[in-house]
Amino acid sequence: MNVRMKLGVAAIAVGLMSGTALADSNDDFWAKAAESYKGVVLHGVTESTPPSNYIKDVLAPEFEKKTGIKVEIETTSWDQMYDKAIKDMEAGTGIYDMVYIEQDIIYSYLARNFLVDITKELKDNPSLKAPTYDDANFTTFADYFKQKDDLYGVPMEAFIKIYLYRKDLFDDPEIKAAFKKQTGHDLAPATTHEQYTEIADFFTKWGKDHDMQLWGSTAQAHTGHPASWYEYFESVAPTFGVYNWGINAADNYGATVEHGGQMNSDKAKAALKWWLHLRDVAPPESVQSTWSEVATTFAAGRAAQGLVYGENAAWIQADESKSKVVGKVGFALPPLSPGVKEGAESHKGYIGYYDGGAFGIPVSSKNKEASALFLEYIGQDSVQPGWAIAAPRITNKATYDDPQVKDMDKKLGGYYTMLKDDGHLFAGAPPYPFHAQVREATAPIFYKILTGELGADEGLDQMAAKAEEELTTLGYRK
């Protein structure tokens, strides 16, 4: 063994010993910090998603092993998760010690003083502060869960809603030749709405002509679920240049064009008509599809392209037990109207939805200190790589540089790279404390548009007027 090799082996040995010592030191912290809480059972509620299931199946058992604190995570549907959490916090019953906070609802929770200030909790109880936890390690997505620089939720998932397309179909010589003959140009992922429509129409006809269960696009178009309302306002309208639901907070919260808003603008109406057409050339289940069903539809190979939440990208592209299109998926930015991307780059707009959520502690929790320990645990850099691979969500800056994550990025065709490089072009929901109220007030009208009871133009006019009526009742419009 030469000197260089001896030094290399010695360095590796020292590194391993240092890593072991550090791990032992960290384990000592968790055991010591949790001494007063051994035997405590924490209860959390969240939506049944890949990131949440990872907490339940992996992180909660790890934490219990290190601390003696049991964590029971209830994973359920989005509707039930939201309903259970908010009813518990409104009543102050303390059933839940941790609740999932979706990015778009945080402002309502803060306005109602539902959540524990985690930053203050750790300052007031320094013995609980883990040496491996630092909220400076989070990506800027954590800013959505802050008030006056204090953190009220530890981010546990963050992803963008992106354009997925079937590379195997787009690269098929026969399909490419047919598309070129029909349109006069090459088949490629769409960058404009017109191109996307052309591709959607082509593949829907192709599927029909070749007796295939194949349609041209996905559509999150459930006729009685908020998922469709969200797809339009948070994913479709921004690509046409309609932001913040078309409500102008700077001008007396106007929603109608008459009062300075954009909810019933020509751009908004064009966006809705474009999306409704896609719904009509999408798989028949689209009229009953929420965010989950859109992903399973794409994974089943029933759509040539679609807007799909990034949290589903990994399993669609890599999990053969769930997906029929493994290794066949391409990723791109959504199709955009002229000037929209440039506006996003200059911070005058955004191109789509930056989704995600955090775990927060209700003020009604009876186990705030133990809960804070668990949230620190899931917020460490060290637990992130496996989580990011199991579900393509990244909340900590260091995760991008992990070798395992880099390998997964290659398998995913650069999804993590897209999230890192282009995530700034996307945005979360606007900071409206009236989020749920305006959604609930306008959603019934939106569903009538989807079922054909109202036309798109008339329906958006009614929605804009209804939004202003609700905002007046709530005291925002003067």
Q: What is the pLDDT of residue 444?
A: 98
Is 21 within the bounds of a domain?
A: no
Same domain, 253 and 347: yes
Do 412 and 323 meet the contact criterion of CB atoms below 8 Å apart? Answer: no
* Residue showing tokens 């339009």: 232
Q: Which residues of the chain have pLDDT under 50?
A: 1-22
Same domain, 223 and 348: yes
Same domain, 238 and 316: yes
Q: Which one of 387, 405, 425 terminates a domain?
A: 425
In b/e form, how buried is each residue of 380-414, taking b as 16+ CB within 10 angstroms? bbebbbebbbbbbbbbbeebbebeebeebbeebbe
Q: What is the pLDDT of residue 19?
A: 41
CATH of the domain at 89: 3.40.190.10
Q: Which one of 425, 443, 463 terminates a domain?
A: 425
Same domain, 132 and 209: no
Same domain, 201 and 290: yes
The pair of three-digit structure tokens given for residue 389, joined into one six-digit string: 């691979």
Q: What is the pLDDT of residue 254?
A: 98
DSSP reduced 3-state for 100: strand
Number of domains in the chain: 2
Is 193 within the bounds of a domain?
A: yes
Q: What is the pLDDT of residue 26?
A: 76
| Whole-angstrom distance, CA of residue 423 vs CA of residue 243 | 17
CA 343 to chain centre: 22
Nearest one of 469, 470, 460, 465 to 433, comparing CA atoms:
470
Is 6 within the bounds of a domain?
A: no
Please give the residue range of the domain that contains residue 246: 160-353+430-473
Same domain, 74 and 100: yes
Q: What is the pLDDT of residue 21?
A: 41
Same domain, 176 and 314: yes
Q: What is the pLDDT of residue 78?
A: 87
Is 177 within the bounds of a domain?
A: yes
Phi, psi for residue 261 in degrees, rounded to 5:
-95, -175
Same domain, 143 and 171: no
Same domain, 333 and 363: no
Is 420 within the bounds of a domain?
A: yes
> For 375-402, what is each residue's pLDDT tens digit?
999 999 999 999 998 888 999 999 999 9
Q: What is the pLDDT of residue 25?
A: 61
Is 47 within the bounds of a domain?
A: yes
* Residue showing tokens 């620190």: 376
DSSP string, 4-69: HHHHHHHHHHHHHHHHHHHHHHHHHHHHHHTGGGTT-EEEEEEE-SHHHHHIIIIIHHHHHHHHS-
Helix ranges (DSSP H) in 283-414: 291-299, 313-318, 340-345, 368-378, 384-390, 403-411
Is 332 within the bounds of a domain?
A: yes
Same domain, 443 and 416: no
Same domain, 205 and 146: no
Distances (CA, A) of 116 to 112, 136, 464: 12, 19, 35
Do 245 and 267 meet the contact criterion of CB atoms below 8 Å apart? Answer: no
Distances (CA, A) of 401 to 307, 384, 397, 412, 425: 27, 11, 8, 15, 21
Is 278 within the bounds of a domain?
A: yes
Same domain, 372 and 465: no
Q: Which one of 410, 425, 440 terminates a domain?
A: 425
Q: What is the pLDDT of residue 457?
A: 98
